[in-house]
Structures are given as structure tokens and as C-alpha cells.
A and B are shown apart, each in its own frame.
Chain A
């Protein structure tokens, strides 16, 4: 019998596997996906939010614990656990040497992401390069990996882990186990249920796109709920951003973002604006736009810009719909022309003169239009005009297994002796809602490592 069984094959699973193996345990990983798709959402990531008190290789200046904590507190609106959050923050300050030892390489921020040069360490080549490095290291250390092996059930004796059942009906037992199988973001049925039906009679989640893997179906979350494990979080909470409506249903990843929202206006299907597009820099706002678009009819929005701002934002992956006049653009986007023109004319008339500068919170704003646009408000008047349709894109869900700082799964507030959890499956302990870039990987790395170490110790004790 193997010492430690790891369910999942993303960042949290790999961190757990490596730590358990380094602690001397024999380790078997079960990854639901085939090898080409291994690594879940982790293969789409680009960086890790890191605390540091002084400049550190690719990280400039300092990002002290307290500031990191305040940032988390702010984005979660207090729905976090200070003890666990601080544990993650501290772990982020010293995990990178270990990551490097296992082949992960860091680089300065990508162009277009300089605003996080101080807070986030970028993976050279992105998350897939990180995942590849971890798999190489794990296999070199003797970790066994089985692909195409989805786990369908967990076998327990009371609160003690016994084994799992795989998709093919095979029973695999182990002395201890780490669950790191992601959230339920890939499960469209469950999303539908969680988001429910709106006043218009629509099921908003039917129009969501999933930014990451198709394999995070939430099977393990369901199993553990059924087994009576302690849960935390609201199933409708998660990271949800506005992305290109033409993105594929799964695995569209980072490149499907549309970065021109703050440089123009956004209208809904009725041709009306619905939120201040210039409230703040786009990277700080794109996560609220997922929800904003989800609240519109048909869960769709249209970002409208003119030629003036071309080349001022990260180039989108698909070309925009182009027209030489605004009515023509409305027609091409199937928007009601009259309302659309009323919206744009009203907005244009409300734009106050200012000095446009997309690199600062400039003084171009509107007056007398609702909703106002508070920065980067320029008239949309220079053909050609461009339109990009937006849809909500789900990154990951926050519904989680409740844990303390040992990463143990809990039943009626008592920790299991040999069952642990890491990554998205427990991220909701720290992230009740909201998000700040790079914290997903910080949580997965910190708790993956804790869970792996604890599982190895539990196996040795057994």
C-alpha cells in the first residue's frame, strides 16, 4: 500500500506530492486528465503574490506582511480568516527557493503587467512551464503519476481516510491522502444551480464561459459534502471576469481578456451603459465586470471604442467588429440602433475636456450622465469604431472544505487524522469573496506543502 495518495494534478497536488516524497513517503498521484491536459487551472496561471521585506531577485521594493494582509482584507470585505491568511502570506515569502529547487524559474513582470512588479513573481513561461517542472522533479524523485484516472468516490471509516474509487471502479487504498482536485468551476450543471434563475427567467450561468480546465467538476467536493465534512463559503462566490464572448467554452485562459473596457464605453443588449467604465485601472476592475455582465440581460456586454485608443491596450486575441459609423457598428453588433446612438450621443456630450493619459488616473471624466465615467472619458467619435462582445468568464469557485492551519479535512469540527486538502478545494477559507492577482497560487503552494508534509507524517504514524 502506498503511503500518500494525492488526488489531483495541479499546483496544490504537485506541491503536496513533492513535500510528501521529500519527507520520505511513497507517493501516488491520480490525475483525472490525460497527460496533455494535466495541471488543471494551474497550467493557465502566470504569477504568485509574494510577501517580501526587501527587493528579491525579480521583485522590486518591498511588500510587507501587513500590506499584503490589508490588501486581502479589502478585496474579501473581511470574509477571510486572518490566521490562515497570514500563514499563506508568510509562506509566500520563503517558498520560492524551494520552487526553484524543483525547476520553477521566475522572471520580471510581463509587459502589460508592470503594476504588479512589486507584489507578484512571474513564472517564466507561465503556469504550464511550472507544472512541467514539478512533474519532472516529482518523477525524478520517484513519485508515481497516473493520468486518465478520475476519482469518483472517497472511502472513509468515520473520519479516517481508507481509499478512493476511480472512474474505472478500481479501489486504491493508502495510509494518508491529500485532496487537491480543484473547485467545481468546470461543472456547468452545478454552476447553473448555484447561480439560480434571475428575475428575467434566465439561468445566467448557462452563458458563462470557463476560463480554465474542463476537469474540475467538483466531484471530490460533492463526495466530501455527502460524507459530512465541514464546508465553508457560498457556491455562487468565485473569481469571475469579463472576457471575449468568442472564447472557447473551456481553457480560453489569459488571452481571451478584453483590455479596452476602461478606454471606451460598455453597453448591454439594450444599448445602454450600466457602470462606470473608468472607475479604476482595468486590472483592478476586470474581476467585478464578470459579475456586472452576468447581471445584464443575456449575460452579454459590448465594449465600444474608436480608433484613438488602438494600440493603447493589450491586443485582444480575436479582431473586433469594425464599422465606419456608429449606427453601422450597432447594426453589426445586433444592438438597437436608436438607443445605442442615444447612449453614445449622451455620453459624448457629457465628456469634459481633460488631458487623456491611460497610464494614470487622468482627469477626463463625464458630467451629467448616469452612470458617470470618472477617468479616461473621451468622446467616441473617430472612425473606424470597434466593438467587442463580453461574457462572464469563471476562473474558479470558492466553495471549500473548512480547514485549520494543519490542512486537515474536518468532520463536526474535528480534524481527520489522515485526510488533508489543498488548493482551490480549500481556498474559500482565505477568500470568502473577491480576489487579488496571484493569491490563488499562494494559497495552493502554502497549503499544498503543508498538506503533503502532514500526510507523510500521518502515513508514518499509521
Chain B
């Protein structure tokens, strides 16, 4: 069978799975809609009450509004072993996995990635690192003394900027195409609303991880019905760690092009301070998330999503670890090797960004925004006025 056939087979299979999963969303949300006990845990349930039936687009929307906090599983009087078998977090997780494939660009990449995210993330990173190492070795020796952190002596700045610029541009474009298609499909026309308020609210919800507090501030569930705030904390460390690293790179770029200041920067310089704090956050955050992920009750999740989750976690952790090691030994003879490995992981992240767990942030923000918009419109279902 040709590769094209295999891919289209895979796509067919994914479509059948998606239809089945969306059908399950429709089934259980009919039960939830008649029950509504979980209404104040998160945004999914209020959004549900605006609908009487749930099509595939609704399923994508609600799935990405769900943060898998799992409060609604342990609180559910219809959860297994009840014959209704309601499991909202698992069902939505199954659909969410499809969102990342369905709206990936190009779709075939998404399809490949979802099957073995962890392996691909690592293979790409190590492949790139190996390539870089080979490049260095062709040009000279891997261990060079007396470079004193002169990164650009190894890889010229313009080459780095060019390659990574292109990779990140590709990621941004691919994600933008995906999220636009998602947005088009899940939103229907309606009364215009004060957009600034909606955007403000959605941004706040995203930045504060509002819905990981369980609606009562006690947090979400991991192993059992007890609540924990650690998921929110580790997620914050990861996200803000990432943002600090991003800020560090941005400042460094400004230094380079605007002020003509070239790396390496002093330990006390802004890029290094931002990068160090970011790196520490990006070390503890993903490690903590991994620890929680290992201990998470299998009832709560879609097992097949794990490889995606862990691939992303592993990448972030590795980037941060290799980055901090590079910083510590940048004056040593091992610098070229360390740099190549670090850049390999960064490249691995960029290349898998649109297909991995990173995409969840984008789709989730889109879903939060949609929620903030639609809740400002009158509820089309006037059921609750008894």
C-alpha cells in the first residue's frame, strides 16, 4: 500500500472515531443537561445549557473548554458503575485529541504526531542535535577551548536566526490556520457583543487558569476525589516559565539588532536573568506536571493522549535542562556540544509545536473567547425560568 493510501486510511479511521466520540458527547450531555449538578465547576456546563443537542462542532468547542479538572467525574451520580456511565472528562478528552488532529495543518502531520508524540518529539530533537554536532565536527573539533561562550563562533547568528525564524514562522502559520478553521466551525453568527469585555475576560481566565481551581478554589482532582492545587501551580510555573524564556529570547534579539549587543550576555543581564528564572520554572513545572500525569487516575483521561502530553512535557523539560547546563558550562570546552544539544531540543519544540500539546493552549483560548462572547448573548434555550 502506498503512503498516501495509508494516510487516507488513517484519516478515515480518525473520522469514524471522531463521529463516535462526538456521539458519546451528545449522549452524556443530554444526561448532564437534565441534571446540571456540576454547573458551577467550570464553563462547560453553562455553555451546555445554551444547547439542546450537540453536534461535532459543539463537541470540539466544549472539549476545548474543558480543562480535565475531573471534578465533574467524582461528583457524578451517573458515573460508572451506574448504567448511564457518564464520564465527562474522559469523553471530552477523547474529542480534544481529535481537535488537535482535525485542525492540524497539514493534517497528515497531526495524524502522525498523535500516534507517537513522545517518540517523534525526541527523534526530531535528537536528530537535529545530531545534525548540528555533525556540522560542527565537519568544520572542526567538537571540543574547543577558549571560546568563552562565543555561541556565534559555532553557529553564525544569522544562520541561527534564519533557521529558527523559519521554523517558528512555520509553527505560527500552521497554528493560525488551525485555529482559524476551528473558530469558523464552532462559532455561529449572533448579536454583536462588547468584544473588549469578552476578550478581557477570556484573557483573564486563561492567564489565571481560572478553571483549574475547581470553581471553589480547592483545586482539581488527580488521583481521587480529593482536590489539589498542585496542577494549577505546576501549570503556572510551566506557562510563565515558558513566557520568561520567550521574553529572554525577545530581549536578546532586541539587544542584537537594535543595540548591537552580541551574546554572550553577562549573568546579571536581562536576557540571562529572564532565561534563568524562566528555565527554572520550565524545569519544575513540567517535572511536576509529569509527576501528576503519572499518578492521574486513568478514569479521568484518554490514555491515548498520554504520548502527546508526555512528549510536550519532555521537550519543555529538556529544553530548559540543556539551556541551564549550557549557561553553567558556556565557558568550557564542551560548549559547542551543549549548544548543539540545546538547539536540537528547541528546534524539536518548534517543529512539533502545531501538533503537540502546545496547540491545546491555542484551542483552549479560542474556546474561552467563544464562551465569553456567547454568554453575553441571551440564552436561546429558555428552559430555566420555572
Contact = CB atoms under 8 A, between A and B. Distances in A.
A383 interface: no
Contacts of B76: 128
A36 B75 contact: no
B34 A317 contact: yes
A128 B75 contact: yes
A185 interface: no
Given A105-B218, A108-B40, A132-B75, A311 B34 contact: no
Contacts of B81: 36-37
Given A105-B216, A314-B384, A44 B77 contact: yes
Nearest to A358: B385
A115 interface: yes
Nearest to A248: B83
Interface stretch (B94-102, B123-131, B276-284, B375-383): B375-383
Contacts of A127: 77
B40 A111 contact: no
Given A111-B39, A114-B384, A313-B386, 20 more contacts: A103-B218, A105-B216, A105-B218, A111-B49, A113-B386, A126-B38, A128-B37, A136-B225, A248-B84, A253-B77, A254-B34, A255-B31, A256-B34, A310-B52, A312-B383, A314-B33, A314-B383, A315-B381, A319-B30, A358-B386
B75 A125 contact: yes
Nearest to B217: A105
Given A257-B34, A316-B34, A125 B41 contact: yes
Interface in A71-111: 103, 105, 107-108, 110-111
A254 B34 CA distance: 8
A36 B78 CA distance: 11
A159 interface: no
A359 B41 CA distance: 27
Contact of A124 (B31, B40, B386): B40
Contacts of B385: 114, 358-359
A136 B225 CA distance: 8
Contacts of B226: 136
B75 A311 contact: no
A281 interface: yes
Nearest to B35: A255
Ranked nearest first, the 5 interchain pairs of A and B with the lowest CB-CB distance are: A126-B37, A125-B75, A112-B384, A255-B34, A111-B384
- Interface class of chain B by DSSP: loop
8 contacts: A105-B216, A107-B40, A110-B37, A110-B39, A111-B49, A115-B386, A248-B83, A314-B36
Nearest to A108: B40
Contacts of A336: none
A424 interface: no
B215 interface: yes
A103 B218 CA distance: 9
A3 interface: no
Interface in B28-85: 30-31, 33-41, 46, 49, 52, 71-72, 74-78, 80-84
A16 B39 CA distance: 29
B33 A315 contact: yes
Q: Give the interface centre of A110, A127, A251 by most chain B CB atoms within 10 Å.
A: A110
A312 B34 contact: no
Interface in B179-195: none
Contacts of B46: 111
B82 to A, nearest CB: 6
Given A129-B75, A136-B225, A46 B386 contact: no
A379 to B, nearest CB: 20
Interface string A236-276: 00000000000010010111110100000000000000000
A111 B34 contact: no
A353 interface: no
A43 interface: yes
B52 A317 contact: no
Chain A, interface residues (CB within 8 Å), range: 35 or more
Contacts of A317: 30-31, 34-35
Nearest to A103: B218
A108 B384 CA distance: 14
A37 B82 CA distance: 9
A114 B383 CA distance: 11
Given A46-B37, A282-B386, A255 B78 contact: yes
Q: Give the interface centre of B37, B38, B46, B380 by most chain A CB atoms within 10 Å.
A: B37
Given A125-B72, A129-B74, A112 B383 contact: yes
Contacts of B380: 311
Contacts of A228: none
Contact of B37 (A254, A311, A312): A254
Interface in A19-65: 36-37, 43-44, 46
A142 interface: no
A283 interface: yes
Contacts of B215: 105, 107, 124
Contacts of B382: 311-312
A281 B77 contact: no
Nearest to A36: B81
Given A124-B215, A316-B34, A132 B384 contact: no
Contacts of B39: 107, 110-111
Interface string A293-316: 000000000000000001111111
Nearest to A256: B34
A126 B75 CA distance: 7
A46 B34 CA distance: 13
Interface in B343-386: 380-386
A335 to B, nearest CB: 25
Contacts of A37: 81
Contacts of B383: 111-112, 259, 311-315
A313 to B, nearest CB: 6
Nearest to B381: A311
Q: Give the interface centre of B83, B381, B385 by most chain A CB atoms within 10 Å.
A: B385
Contacts of B384: 111-114, 314
Nearest to B30: A317
Nearest to B49: A111
A43 B37 CA distance: 11
